[in-house]
């Protein structure tokens, strides 16, 4: 997958050079490229922002540098994704959809955001990381890139490791334990040591249901629930 990021702060993205996304770059499963749209500013001081018409606080990113930076990209059938708190909420379903693309372009705003003509003419997707306001889109883009890249084939060690993820199943994930079975008197649930796979599967499903009911009951409205799930939830 080719990922291009239009940003005024490319140095922030060194976080993606580590761990799993770093290895995905080394293994050429993804190619990440950063474009500083300040380099496209025709203003002699390299200015990219200006005050809003109609008044109000803050500065807006002006159309010219962003339009020119996008025009310089190779013409491909691609998404141009703007980071904005007024966008649609990013979630696992969006990550799964984007993971099927061959190219993604992330557009990171700063200050009060972009001139609306950038959204109207260039952007295909407007997405928000959540109901809070960041100082800029960079951390949001990094988070979304991380969530997408781990879904690409062969990026995680075991191909199954994201299939039981929280949200992929419509529920929060069940709790995990590893060795030792007894840590200073804190014991791993007996069922996990039983070797009985059917029982383990049932316990995990019930733990996922319990956790989701306690922490994110909203998810139960859209989760795919069996008759035995419903029976457990009513018990
Ligand atoms: N830029 C500022 N706040 C943001 C948010 N919540 N999501 C995405 N981009 C942003």
**pLDDT tens for each residue of 208-221:** 999 999 999 999 99
Atom of ligand 1 nearest to the CA of 133: 3
Q: Which of 58, 59, 85, 141 to mutate to test the pocket of ligand 1 (most atoms within 8 A of CB)?
A: 85
User: Which residues are identified as catalytic?
Assistant: 85, 112, 150, 165
Question: pLDDT tens digits for 152-194?
Answer: 999 998 755 787 788 888 999 999 999 999 999 999 999 999 9
ipTM: 0.97
Residues flagged as binding site for S-adenosyl-L-methionine: 109, 129-134
Closest C-alpha to ligand 1, atom 2: 134
**Tens of pLDDT, residues 34-44:** 999 999 999 99
Q: How far is the CA of 159 from the centre of ligand 1 (A)?
A: 31
- How many angstroms does the Cα of residue 177 sit away from the middle of ligand 1? 35
Task: Kindly report the three-state secondary structure assignment for every residue of the chain.
Answer: CEEEEECCCHHHHHHHHCHHHHHHHHCCCCEEEEECHHHHCCCCCCCCEECCCCCCCCCEECHHHHHHHHHCCCCCCCEEEEEEEEEEECCHHHHHHHCCCCEEEEECCECCCECHHHHHHCCCEEEECCCCCCCECHHHHHHHHHHHHCCCCCCCCCHHHHCCCCCCCCCCCCCCCCCCCEECCEECCHHHHCCCHHHHHHHHHHHHHHHHHHHCHHHHCCCCCCHHHHHHHHC
pLDDT, one tens digit per residue, over 16-38 is 999 999 999 999 999 999 999 99
Span from the CA of 6 to the centroid of ligand 1 (angstroms): 15
For the ranges 51-65, 73-87, 130-144, which has the lowest average pLDDT?
73-87
Instruction: Tell the residue nearest (CA) to atom 4 of ligand 1.
Output: 85
- The predicted pLDDT at position 159 comes to 56
Mutate to test the pocket of ligand 1, among 12, 123, 132, 133 (most ligand atoms within 8 A of CB): 133
User: Rounded to 10 degrees, what is the CA torsion of 19, 130, 78, 75?
Assistant: -90
What's the mean per-residue pLDDT of the chain? 95
Select 2-149's CATH number: 2.60.40.1180, 3.10.310.10, 3.40.718.10, 3.40.1280.10.
3.40.1280.10
Domain map (residue ranges) of the chain: 2-149, 164-234
pLDDT of the residue at 199 = 98
Tell the residue nearest (CA) to atom 6 of ligand 1: 85
> Is 2.170.190.11 the CATH number for 164-234?
no
């Amino acid at each position: 997958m080719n990922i291009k990021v239009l940003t005024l702060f490319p140095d922030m993205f060194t976080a993606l050079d580590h761990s799993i996304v770093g290895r995905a770059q080394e293994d050429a499963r993804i190619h990440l490229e950063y474009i500083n749209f300040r380099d496209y500013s025709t203003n002699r001081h390299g200015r990219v922002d200006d005050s809003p018409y109609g008044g109000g606080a803050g500065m807006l990113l002006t159309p010219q540098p962003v339009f020119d930076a996008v025009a310089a990209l190779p013409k491909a059938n691609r998404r141009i994704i703007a980071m904005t708190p007024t966008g649609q909420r990013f979630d696992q379903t969006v990550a799964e959809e984007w993971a099927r693309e061959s190219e993604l372009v992330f557009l990171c705003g700063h200050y009060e955001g972009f001139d609306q003509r950038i959204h109207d003419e260039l952007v295909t997707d407007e997405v928000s990381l959540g109901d809070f306001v960041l100082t800029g889109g960079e951390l949001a883009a990094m988070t979304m890139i991380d969530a997408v890249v781990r879904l690409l084939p062969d990026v995680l060690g075991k191909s199954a490791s994201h299939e039981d993820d929280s949200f992929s199943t419509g529920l929060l994930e069940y709790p995990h334990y590893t060795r030792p079975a007894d840590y200073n008197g804190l014991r791993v649930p007996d069922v996990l040591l039983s070797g009985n796979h059917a029982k383990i599967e049932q316990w995990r499903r019930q733990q996922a249901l319990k956790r989701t009911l306690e922490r994110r009951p909203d998810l139960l409205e859209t989760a795919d629930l069996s008759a035995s799930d419903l029976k457990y939830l009513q018990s």
